[in-house]
Amino acid sequence: MDNWFDFFLIGAILVQGAISTANRKTGAIAGYFITTGILFLGLAWYGQSTAYYQRYLTYFGKELSVGGFLVVCLVWYGIDTVVLLSALRGEAKTGRRSARPRPRWEPPEEPEEEEEERPKRAARKPAAAAFSGITVCPKCRMKVFPKADGACPSCQAQIL
Rounded mean pLDDT, 16-37:
86
Q: Tell me the torsion sign for CA atoms 21, 24, 26, 28.
A: positive
User: Residue 160: pLDDT above 70?
Assistant: no
Residue 136 phi/psi, 5-degree rounding, is: -110, 130
Query: Is residue 72 domain-shared with residue 25, that is, in the same domain?
Result: yes
Domain that holds residue 155: 128-160
Can you give the pLDDT at residue 75?
A: 92
Task: Specify the number of domains making up the chain.
Answer: 2
Angle of the 66-94 helix axis to the 24-47 helix axis, nearest 10: 170
Mind listing the pLDDT tens digit for each residue in 110-142?
A: 766 666 666 677 666 655 544 556 777 878 877
- For residue 135, being part of any structural domain is answered with yes
**Cβ-count burial 112-132 (b if 16+ within 10 Å, e if not):** eeeeeeeeeeeeeeeeeebee
Specify whether 18 is located in the same domain as 72: yes
CB-CB contact of 150 with 131 (8 Å): yes
Whole-prediction pTM = 0.49
Together in a domain, 11 and 89: yes
Domain membership of residue 123 (yes or no) is no
Tell me the C-alpha distance between 81 and 90, whole Å: 14
